């Protein structure tokens, strides 16, 4: 992020200066007619946005108040009179002063209190009524959209075609066959009317398969065509189309509405994802049925839910009460679908209420009161309390309710941003980060730091010890215990202090417990053993949760209840139970069911919070790959001197972040690849000159992240792989047969250099060529769940590409049944799974295979490969084929059944076990069973051994 700030900094200064100049010029113009109020408004608006983005709250507030003043002017609520112009000029001057400070000091300037008060006074002054109606110039810059070139024709076409298209969509017909001429007619009209959005939608509709996505396209089309009706007063047939849709979708809407209470139940607990999906469904139904008021209301509800989901809005209070009501409202409409009148009033009222409730939440109507209540009970600094928003207060009050320890921590983020991040990570994983805000300490050595308010479920002593362990250095952290007022008497040392460099910031009596602040440099260091233990614990928790979830979600609760009832009835056939007994039984059962449901709900929430925890835990282990790359320049320099080469090393992507555990594993292979490149790849300057290349060779090492995959490339511009020599060497070493050698292409030959015991170097050198290098590289990368590829152009160079997952420990596996055992296959090696009727099995030269999209796929039964079963499928049955690739070859692994696709935490297993062919690791499944996770590479080896020759393996094309 700090790089980004460096980039944004000049842009921020330039833009702010530009707008301040424009404001000065614009404001001093003599007559009201010449002033472009909109431009003035936008300048303050842009300044506000920029300051907010950079985090300069005290600049932002001035720009904000000024913006509001001008907004009132452009809305015609007040006049831009001399007093206002003076005030705004003063604001401009103030912002200029602040900008100069910011430019020099790079931190939020001190608040311009007087200026702010003056502007606020202007804002609260009774608004001078505009003398005349607002001049045209002050209307917001909203050029109206041009009408389509041929709107009437478009409307005609829509009226003729839309209802039929809608009907066809609804009864799930393929459109291209049933209504092609309607689609074409409407599309032509849309082209003529210059309405490319409609053209795109119609083409999308024609191509889409029946289903929700197609309905969504239809809703979009209908809504866009409705623009012709709203703006041009034309009839585009949307109501006609909607009638058919209403008839058909009504029962669906009813059914969805019924789900509202259950699915919005978790709202106050912050579980909103399911609510969002529900409202999205309702919204689509309402859009298709053209229920404009429902649509408006639901859009609003959806937006509110998203804001809650994003954490911008707390899920509490009136809002949470209103949302289910609003969402269920379309159900009311179904009772009298045609009488829209009272319904739209209800919608509008609810929409208003939602907006108001949201606004109150955001603006914190009752915040001051709640802050005061906290301050009465706890020793929290006033500045910290003042910076709390509603969400932070919610968190704070919840933490107080849990009797957690409240602390304020002040950290100098400027001199140690890594330290800051480590601190934030620790705070997040250990407790609740209630709020953070920047603190400005004026004076000669003016500093700015961040102050965090944190709630932690541990005694204060533990907090201070943990921080001391985290941060072995004095000048960056200050810790303040927000003691409960009633506890102060009992605990005289209310605060622990503090940096000697900043006595002003030290609070409390500083009684010498400086454990929290003692050390030497600017980085926070966490013991890596502690991090590993933590990550492992999280992994265990995930597994335990899976076990619990498995137990909870077995459907047999209901079955068992039924069975119990049946038994009872049989037992009591002679003496039927009394009504009271029956009633009691019923209550027992329903209480049981309710408890079960509660557990299931708790489990769902636990899942969400655990997966967040897991993400955060894994993020703790992340470091830049520079830790690996930093060792390379020295090696390149030493080696090229030793070997008499001229080499320039280009390193890029060193900022890519990788799992800490990968640093050690990657270091050796990277060193080897670089050595290999210089020793074997790069020619001597004389050879290069003779080949017409520059004497200085380029060895480039780069890293990049693609999705969850880390890609590392080592490329040289040397002589490239000598395929003839590779072929000869592999033959000589008995790695391939004569017949293999004849048919192998560059790609297969390239793979050979990774085989154990292969070396093409003519001589054994100091640095490489002992034939123990490349296979070690490959083994290491495979350990990380990755792949190595080599590409080479004779005379032009060689590129090694390493691909590996960024987080190796937790992975998805395909769980399969084979020969009566369950085994896991890592999903990243699997390209697809399909079912194969036994009748379609073929055999070529004794090798089982089948046709997959016209290409022969060799098949290996998993149990046979692993040596614990026979492949004897019953005639007429079918098997599942898991298609795997190692990047070069593709094989099909035959199993009886694919059982599932769990996410597992891969554990180390006993080293002897790993030596078993095919085994990569083990994990514990949800039901507690241990499952062996297979290793793709080793499966391929087994397959090769089973194959008659390499030729039966097919290349991936």
Site for another protein in 244-303 (CB under 8 A): 248-249, 251-252, 254-256, 276-277, 280-281, 283-285, 288, 296, 299-300, 303
Ranges within 619-678 binding another protein (CB under 8 A): none
**Smaller CB distance to another protein: residue 215 or 524?**
215
Ranges within 363-382 binding another protein (CB under 8 A): none
Tell me the closest approach of the beta carbon of residue 409 to another protein, in angstroms.
13
Helix (H) or strand (E) holding 35: none
Tell me the closest approach of the beta carbon of residue 292 to another protein, in angstroms.
9
Distance between CA atoms of 589 and 583, rounded to whole angstroms?
10
Does 39 help bind another protein (rule: CB under 8 A)? Answer: yes
Across-strand partners of 791? 799
CA 55, 61, 66, 69 torsion: positive or negative? positive
Tell me the closest approach of the beta carbon of residue 450 to another protein, in angstroms.
6
Does 834 help bind another protein (rule: CB under 8 A)? Answer: yes
Strands 847-852, 842-844: parallel, antiparallel or unpaired by DSSP?
Answer: antiparallel
Task: With beta carbons less than 8 A apart as the criterion, state whether 788 and 714 touch.
Answer: no
**Smaller CB distance to another protein: residue 493 or 654?**
654
Helix (H) or strand (E) holding 745: none
C-alpha distances in angstroms, 264 versus 294, 320, 352, 810? 18, 9, 20, 31
x/- map, 862-901, another protein, by CB under 8 A = ------------------x-----------------x--x
Tell me the closest approach of the beta carbon of residue 419 to another protein, in angstroms.
11
Where does residue 225 rank: exposed (0-12), middle (13-18), buried (19+ CB within 10 A)?
A: buried
CA 14, 20, 21, 22 torsion: positive or negative? positive
Distance between CA atoms of 95 and 51, rounded to whole angstroms?
10
Of the candidate residues 112, 187, 271, 351, the single one contacting another protein (CB under 8 A): 351
Task: With beta carbons less than 8 A apart as the criterion, state whether 477 and 409 touch.
Answer: yes
**Smaller CB distance to another protein: residue 66 or 760?**
66
Tell me the closest approach of the beta carbon of residue 722 to another protein, in angstroms.
31
Of the candidate residues 23, 119, 175, 193, the single one contacting another protein (CB under 8 A): 193
Please report where in the chains the tokens 């001391």 appear, as a residue: 468
**Smaller CB distance to another protein: residue 217 or 516?**
217
Across-strand partners of 435? 453
DSSP for 546-596? HHHHHHHT-THHHHHHHHHHHHHHHHTSSSPPPHHHHHHHHHHHHHHHHHH
**Nearest residue to 346 (alpha-carbon basis) of 360, 332, 359, 358:** 332
x/- map, 41-80, another protein, by CB under 8 A = xx--xx-xxx-xxxxx------------------------
**Smaller CB distance to another protein: residue 52 or 646?**
52
Tell me the closest approach of the beta carbon of residue 43 to another protein, in angstroms.
10
Distance between CA atoms of 731 and 451, rounded to whole angstroms?
68
In whole angstroms, what separates CA 382 from the centre of its chain?
Answer: 35
C-alpha distances in angstroms, 148 versus 222, 227, 678? 16, 11, 65
Tell me the closest approach of the beta carbon of residue 384 to another protein, in angstroms.
14
Tell me the closest approach of the beta carbon of residue 761 to another protein, in angstroms.
34
Ranges within 794-823 binding another protein (CB under 8 A): 803, 812, 814
Sheet arrangement for strand 709-716: 647-652, 697-706, 709-716, 797-805, 787-793
Task: With beta carbons less than 8 A apart as the criterion, state whether 663 and 623 touch.
Answer: yes
Ranges within 509-568 binding another protein (CB under 8 A): none
In whole angstroms, what separates CA 376 from the centre of its chain?
Answer: 40
Task: With beta carbons less than 8 A apart as the criterion, state whether 62 and 118 touch.
Answer: no
Ranges within 398-417 binding another protein (CB under 8 A): 413, 417
Q: What values do phi and psi take at 58, rounded to 5?
A: -75, -25
**Smaller CB distance to another protein: residue 229 or 532?**
229
Which residues, other chains included, contact 384 with Cβ-Cβ below 8 Å and sequence gap of 6+? 408, 435, 437, 451, 453
**Smaller CB distance to another protein: residue 411 or 647?**
411
Tell me the closest approach of the beta carbon of residue 298 to another protein, in angstroms.
10
Of the candidate residues 31, 82, 104, 142, the single one contacting another protein (CB under 8 A): 142
Of the candidate residues 78, 107, 290, 675, the single one contacting another protein (CB under 8 A): 107
Distance between CA atoms of 177 and 209, rounded to whole angstroms?
12
Dihedral-angle region of residue 797 (phi above 0 means left; psi in -120 to 50 means alpha; beta otherwise): left
Ranges within 298-327 binding another protein (CB under 8 A): 299-300, 303-304, 306-307, 310-312
Ranges within 108-127 binding another protein (CB under 8 A): 108
Ranges within 893-952 binding another protein (CB under 8 A): 898, 901
Q: Is 275 helix (H, G, I), strand (E, B) or coil?
A: helix
Task: With beta carbons less than 8 A apart as the criterion, state whether 350 and 397 touch.
Answer: no
**Smaller CB distance to another protein: residue 11 or 602?**
11
Ranges within 684-713 binding another protein (CB under 8 A): 705-709
Burial state string for 315-334 with b = 16 or more CB within 10 A and e = fewer than 16: bbeebbebbbbbbbbbbebe
Of the candidate residues 188, 356, 783, 822, the single one contacting another protein (CB under 8 A): 356
The site for another protein, by CB under 8 A, has a size of: 111
Tell me the closest approach of the beta carbon of residue 920 to another protein, in angstroms.
16
**Smaller CB distance to another protein: residue 337 or 691?**
337
In whole angstroms, what separates CA 33 from the centre of its chain?
Answer: 50
Where does residue 875 rank: exposed (0-12), middle (13-18), buried (19+ CB within 10 A)?
A: exposed
Q: Is 921 helix (H, G, I), strand (E, B) or coil?
A: strand
Which one of the spans 88-96, 186-194, 604-612, 903-911 is the region binding another protein (CB under 8 A)?
186-194
x/- map, 416-455, another protein, by CB under 8 A = -x--xx--x-----------xxx-----------x-----
Strands 821-826, 810-818: parallel, antiparallel or unpaired by DSSP?
Answer: antiparallel
**Smaller CB distance to another protein: residue 48 or 621?**
48
Across-strand partners of 156? none
Tell me the closest approach of the beta carbon of residue 63 to another protein, in angstroms.
10
**Smaller CB distance to another protein: residue 733 or 878?**
878
Tell me the closest approach of the beta carbon of residue 924 to another protein, in angstroms.
22
Tell me the closest approach of the beta carbon of residue 727 to another protein, in angstroms.
31
**Smaller CB distance to another protein: residue 351 or 471?**
351
Ranges within 195-254 binding another protein (CB under 8 A): 195-198, 200-201, 212-213, 215-216, 223-224, 227, 231, 248-249, 251-252, 254
Tell me the closest approach of the beta carbon of residue 443 to another protein, in angstroms.
20
**Smaller CB distance to another protein: residue 557 or 883?**
883
**Smaller CB distance to another protein: residue 213 or 588?**
213
Residue 730: CA atoms inside 13 Å, Cβ hemisphere, count?
A: 24
Does 161 help bind another protein (rule: CB under 8 A)? Answer: no
Tell me the closest approach of the beta carbon of residue 382 to another protein, in angstroms.
20
**Smaller CB distance to another protein: residue 232 or 536?**
232
**Smaller CB distance to another protein: residue 50 or 720?**
50
**Smaller CB distance to another protein: residue 354 or 931?**
354
Residue 661 neighbours by CB distance under 10 Å: 17
Tokens of 160: 């003729």
**Smaller CB distance to another protein: residue 118 or 299?**
299
Ranges within 709-768 binding another protein (CB under 8 A): 709
């Amino acid at each position: 992020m700090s790089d980004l700030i460096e980039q944004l900094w000049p842009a921020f200064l330039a833009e702010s200066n530009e707008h301040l100049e424009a404001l000065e010029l614009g404001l001093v113009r003599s007559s009201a007619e010449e002033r472009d109020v909109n431009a003035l408004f936008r300048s303050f608006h842009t300044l506000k946005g920029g300051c907010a983005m950079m985090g300069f709250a005290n600049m932002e507030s001035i720009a904000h108040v000024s913006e509001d003043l001008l907004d009132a002017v452009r809305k015609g609520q007040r006049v831009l009179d001399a007093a206002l112009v003076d005030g705004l000029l003063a604001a401009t001057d103030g912002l200029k002063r602040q900008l100069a400070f910011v430019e020099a000091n790079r931190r939020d300037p001190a608040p311009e209190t007087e200026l702010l008060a003056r502007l606020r006074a202007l804002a609260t002054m009774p608004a001078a009524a505009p003398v005349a109606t607002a001049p045209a110039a002050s209307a917001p810059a909203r050029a109206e959209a041009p009408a389509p070139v041929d709107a009437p024709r478009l409307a005609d076409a829509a009226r003729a075609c839309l209802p039929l298209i809608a009907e066809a969509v609804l009864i799930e017909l393929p459109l291209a066959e049933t209504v092609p001429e309607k689609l074409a007619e409407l599309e032509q009209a849309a082209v003529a009317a210059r309405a490319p959005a409609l053209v795109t939608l119609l083409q999308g509709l024609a191509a889409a398969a029946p289903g929700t996505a197609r309905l969504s396209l239809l809703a979009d089309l209908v809504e866009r065509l409705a623009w012709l009706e709203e703006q041009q007063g034309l009839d585009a047939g949307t109501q006609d189309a909607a009638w058919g849709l209403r008839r058909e979708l009504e029962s669906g809407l009813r059914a969805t509405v019924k789900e509202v209470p259950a699915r919005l139940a978790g709202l106050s607990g912050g579980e909103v994802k399911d609510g969002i999906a529900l409202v999205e469904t309702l919204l689509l139904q309402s859009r298709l049925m053209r229920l404009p008021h429902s649509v408006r209301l639901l859009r609003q509800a959806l937006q509110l839910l998203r804001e809650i989901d994003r954490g911008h809005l707390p899920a509490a209070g009136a809002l949470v009460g209103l949302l289910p009501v609003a969402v269920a409202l379309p159900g009311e409409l179904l009772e009298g679908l045609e009488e829209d009148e009272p319904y739209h009033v209800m919608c509008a009222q609810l929409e208003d209420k939602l907006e108001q409730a949201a606004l109150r939440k955001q603006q914190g109507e009752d915040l001051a009161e709640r802050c005061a209540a906290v301050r009465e009970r706890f020793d929290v600094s006033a500045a910290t309390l003042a910076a709390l928003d509603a969400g932070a207060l919610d968190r704070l009050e919840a933490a107080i309710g849990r009797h957690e320890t409240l602390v304020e921590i002040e950290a100098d983020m400027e001199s140690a941003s890594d330290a800051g991040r480590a601190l934030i990570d620790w705070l997040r994983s250990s407790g609740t980060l209630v709020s953070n805000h920047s603190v400005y300490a004026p004076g000669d050595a003016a500093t700015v730091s961040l102050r965090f308010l944190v709630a932690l479920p541990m005694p204060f002593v533990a907090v201070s010890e943990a921080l001391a362990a985290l941060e072995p250095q004095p000048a960056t952290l200050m810790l303040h215990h927000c003691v409960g007022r009633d506890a102060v008497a009992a605990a005289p040392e209310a605060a622990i202090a503090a940096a000697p460099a900043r006595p002003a910031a030290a609070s409390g009596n500083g009684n010498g417990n400086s454990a929290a602040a003692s050390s030497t440099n600017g980085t926070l260091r966490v013991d890596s053993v502690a991090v590993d233990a933590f990550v492992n614990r999280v992994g265990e928790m995930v597994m335990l949760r899976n076990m619990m979830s498995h137990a909870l979600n077995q459907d047999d609760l209901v079955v068992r209840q039924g069975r119990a009832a049946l038994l009872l009835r049989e037992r009591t056939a002679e003496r039927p139970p009394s009504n009271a007994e029956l009633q009691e039984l019923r209550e027992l059962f329903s209480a049981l069911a309710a408890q079960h449901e509660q557990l299931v709900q708790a489990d769902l929430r636990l899942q969400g919070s655990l997966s967040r925890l897991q993400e955060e835990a894994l993020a703790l282990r992340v470091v830049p790959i520079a830790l690996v790359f930093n060792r390379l320049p020295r090696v390149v320099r030493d080696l090229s001197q030793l070997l008499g080469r001229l080499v320039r090393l280009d390193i890029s992507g060193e900022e890519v972040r990788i799992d800490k555990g990968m640093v050690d594993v990657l270091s050796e292979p990277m060193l080897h690849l670089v050595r290999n490149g210089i020793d074997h790849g790069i020619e001597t300057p004389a050879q290069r000159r003779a080949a017409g290349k520059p004497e200085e060779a380029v060895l480039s090492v780069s890293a990049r992240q693609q999705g969850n995959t880390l890609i590392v490339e080592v490329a040289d511009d040397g002589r490239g792989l000598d395929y003839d020599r590779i072929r000869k060497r592999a033959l000589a070493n008995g790695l391939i047969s004569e017949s293999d050698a004849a048919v192998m292409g560059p790609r297969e030959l390239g793979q050979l250099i990774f085989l154990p015991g292969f070396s093409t170097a003519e001589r054994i050198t100091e640095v490489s060529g002992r034939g123990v290098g490349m296979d070690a590289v490959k083994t290491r990368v495979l350990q990380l769940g990755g792949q190595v590829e080599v590409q080479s152009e004779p005379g032009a160079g060689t590129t090694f590409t390493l691909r590996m997952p960024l987080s190796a420990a937790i992975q998805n596996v395909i769980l399969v049944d084979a020969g009566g055992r369950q085994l896991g296959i890592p999903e990243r090696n699997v390209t697809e799974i399909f079912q194969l009727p036994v009748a379609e099995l073929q055999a070529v030269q004794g090798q089982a295979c089948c046709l997959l999209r016209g290409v022969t796929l060799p098949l290996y039964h998993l149990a046979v490969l692993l040596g614990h079963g026979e492949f004897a499928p019953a005639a007429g049955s079918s098997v599942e084929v898991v298609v795997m690739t190692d990047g070069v070859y593709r094989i099909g692994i035959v199993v009886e059944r694919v059982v599932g696709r769990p996410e597992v935490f891969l554990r180390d297993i006993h080293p002897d076990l790993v030596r078993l062919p095919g085994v990569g690791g083990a994990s514990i499944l949800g039901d507690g069973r241990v499952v062996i996770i297979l290793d793709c590479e080793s499966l391929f080896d087994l397959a090769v051994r089973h194959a008659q020759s390499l030729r039966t393996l097919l290349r991936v094309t």
